Amino acid sequence: MACPAASARIDFSASLPSIAIPPIAQLIACSQARLQQKISAALAEKDFDTLFQSFPAGSRDRCHLLSYLRPLSSGWLSAIPAYTRSDKRKCLNNYAYRLATALTLGITFPLASLASSCTCGTAIDALRDHFFLCSRATAERVFKHNTLLDVFKAILAEVGITAVTEVPLRSLDITPPNAQPNSQRMDLFFPIDGEGVLCDVTVVHPCRPENSTAHHTQVNRSHARRPGGIATAGAERDKDRKYGASC
pLDDT at 3: 59
**What average pLDDT does the structure give for the chain?**
80
Question: Does residue 1 surpass a pLDDT of 50?
Answer: no
| From 12-21, 91-100, 122-131, 215-224, the region with the lowest mean pLDDT | 12-21
3-state SS, residue 111:
coil
Question: Does residue 247 surpass a pLDDT of 60?
Answer: no
Contacts (Cβ under 8 Å, ≥6 apart) of 141: 131, 132, 133, 134, 135, 203, 205
183-192: pLDDT as tens digits: 778 889 998 8
Angstrom distance (rounded) from CA 43 to CA 103: 24
80-108: pLDDT as tens digits: 776 666 666 667 788 888 888 888 888 88
| Distance between start and end Cα atoms, the chain | 74
- Boundaries of every domain in the chain: 1-54, 57-243
190-205: pLDDT as tens digits: 988 888 888 888 888 8
Residue 215 or residue 90, greater confidence: 215
Most confidently modeled of 107-111, 159-163, 237-241? 159-163
**DSSP letter (8 states) at residue 183:** G
Question: Does residue 13 surpass a pLDDT of 70?
Answer: no
56-73: pLDDT as tens digits: 988 889 988 888 887 778
Band (pLDDT 50/70/90 cuts) for residue 8 is low
pTM of the predicted protein model:
0.69
